[in-house]
Homo-oligomer: A and B are copies of this chain.
């Protein structure tokens, strides 16, 4: 498939479906959580510690969404203290490669973007 056809595909059906999915996947925390879970199974607290800046609420909400969308499996162990483990499903794992592509792009272009942003602010 050519790249042009590919962009058309993005915009296929007016991009409504893609937009709806991307809107969920591509938010502030999702990619970061998925990337973190690439290590393997992790508990709630592990995630909370490894992802700096996320609140318990946002972690809970994002994990719920990921679980709902079948990207993450949630396992509750009936113990005390409770133990809840999160792990990527195969669908979740398949998101890693594209997520890395985007993250790689971001890393590569952060300096340029920040410079551009600074210049823009100075102009304004």
Which A residues fall within an 8 A CB radius of B? 3-4, 6-7, 9-12, 14-19, 21-23, 25-29, 31-32, 35-36, 38-39, 50-53, 67-71, 91, 94-110, 112-113, 115-117, 120-121
* Contact among B21, B99, B102 with A110 in the assembled complex (CB-CB below 8 Å): B21
Known A-B contacts A68-B117, A94-B109, A105-B95; the reply to A16 vs B52 at CB < 8 A is yes
Residue contact B101 to A102, C-beta cutoff 8 Å: yes
What residues of B have a CB within 8 angstroms of the CB of A95 in the complex?
A: 105, 109
Contact between B91 and A113, CB atoms less than 8 A apart: yes
Given contacts A50-B11, A52-B15, contact A4 B105 (CB under 8 A): no
